[in-house]
């Protein structure tokens, strides 16, 4: 029950958004977020509420650094 899933916002109506993951759409409430939410944002949805907005820059950065550091031929 503690699961939180990153989902992409596809529409918004007041405090309620429709978010999607793997082709499944769900309504979620965004009252707990301070940030402005726009269509296309990724939110972590837990029990019908967005609890965090995913920072795409950090996500890309994390992956880029991981690949950079762990891609040398001699690693494996």
Partner 1 sequence: MTGEMKYKDEFRDKWLVQNMAANIRRMAERLSAPVNFMEVCGTHTMSIYQHGIRSLLPENVRLVSGPGCPVCVTPTGYVDKAIASAADPDTIVATFGDMLRVPGSHSSLMEQRAGGADIRIVYSPLDAVALAKKNPERRVLFLGVGFETTAPTIAVTILEAARLGLKNYCVLASHKTMPVPMEILSGDPELNLNGYLCPAHVSTVIGGNAYKPLAEKYQFPCVVTGFEPADVMQGIEMLLAQTLRGESKVEIQYRRAVSWEGNPKAQAILRQLFEPCDAVWRGLGVLPGSGLAIRGDYAEFDAELVLKLDIPEAIENRACLCGEVLKGKLTPFGCPLFATVCTPESPVGACMVSSEGTCAAAYKYGR
State the residue for tokens 């494996």: 76
Distance of CA 36 to the CA centre of its chain: 14
Count of Cβ atoms closer than 10 Å to residue 75 Cβ: 7
51 binds partner 1 (CB under 8 A): yes
36 binds partner 1 (CB under 8 A): no
39 binds partner 1 (CB under 8 A): no
Distance of CA 4 to the CA centre of its chain: 9
Binding residue count for partner 1, defined by CB under 8 A: 40
58 binds partner 1 (CB under 8 A): yes
Sign of CA dihedral 44, 41, 22, 12: positive
Give contact residues for partner 1 (rule: CB under 8 A): 1-4, 6-8, 20-23, 29, 31-34, 42, 44, 46-49, 51-52, 54-56, 58-59, 61-63, 66-67, 69-72, 75-76
């Amino acid at each position: 029950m503690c699961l939180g899933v990153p989902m992409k916002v596809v529409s918004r109506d007041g405090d309620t958004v429709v978010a999607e993951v793997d082709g499944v759409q769900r309504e979620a409430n965004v009252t707990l977020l301070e940030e402005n939410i726009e269509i296309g944002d990724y939110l972590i949805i837990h029990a019908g509420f967005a609890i965090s907005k995913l920072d795409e820059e950090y996500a890309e950065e994390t992956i880029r650094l991981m690949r950079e550091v762990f891609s040398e031929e001699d690693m494996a």
